[in-house]
Structure 1
Amino acid sequence: MSGQVRLCELRDEPLSVDEVLASVADPAAGGVCVFVGMVRDVDHEREVTALDYSAHPSAADRLREVCELVAGRHDVVALASVHRVGHLEVGDLAVVLAASARHRGTAFEAARDLIDTLKSTVPIWKNQAFGDGGQEWVGLP
């Protein structure tokens, strides 16, 4: 990983906002933007009770590629991204990412680019369990 990408992992244990924030802290950074994705209790007007994230074996490598790509597109000081896999309950953190930059605008832009590119290209899928007993796969190719 480049010096700008300081943390980039898939994990099957709870995520830490503090860890991600600390990983992008730098005296050169005047702004840090953190994004936290959480498991919500409703999706498309259906009660969500839990979900399971599955990842293709290439997902960790693809996540690193995305982090490097986004770092190259923005004048960031540092980037970090950690995504959960496995079973999550409502309220659990699913993804935590951060971008630090000399100026806040760049940090916001890079963080937005990172989450959008991650969600559209990294092969991570979720199976949502609903209160009515149904389930739904999201993000399958």
Structure 2
Amino acid sequence: MRRLNRIIPVVPAQAYKTYQVVSPRSTHWRPATCEEAACGAYERGWKTLIDETTERGQQQAHYIRKLSGRRFREDKHVEGLTAFVFEPGQKCFGQHEVPLERPPLYFVKGGDFRGNPLGTPPRQHRRGGDWVEDFAEHQDRLNRAIEKG
């Protein structure tokens, strides 16, 4: 995982609020076919390069040739390398997901990326407009506090 570069906060985590809009995979996504997901490999075909000098490569090549059920041609490359070229219109080897037609979830949580030291329970807004209004009111309170000094 790539490390994030974050601005070093000037106040402790408990002084922050986190506004979050989420669409969890478990409730807002479903498995999909290559066609539903507009998979490029499905639409245009693809090439997989396998190193048959390794045990793993031999297993992969065996699977493609004998078990995959996909249409392909083989192109031999440098010693031990085989390119399997797959025709368009067939299932790729990946797994796809598409979003369900569900609105996202709108949360306001205590703290920031460092945590929620006060243990403030998250608040879930039922409507996006309420979440936006909460955010605007919070920003207004911050601006007034800055103006006061």
TM-score range, shorter chain: under 0.3
TM-score by length of 2: 0.22
Query: Structure 1 length normalisation: TM-score?
Result: 0.23
* Larger strand share, 1 or 2: 1
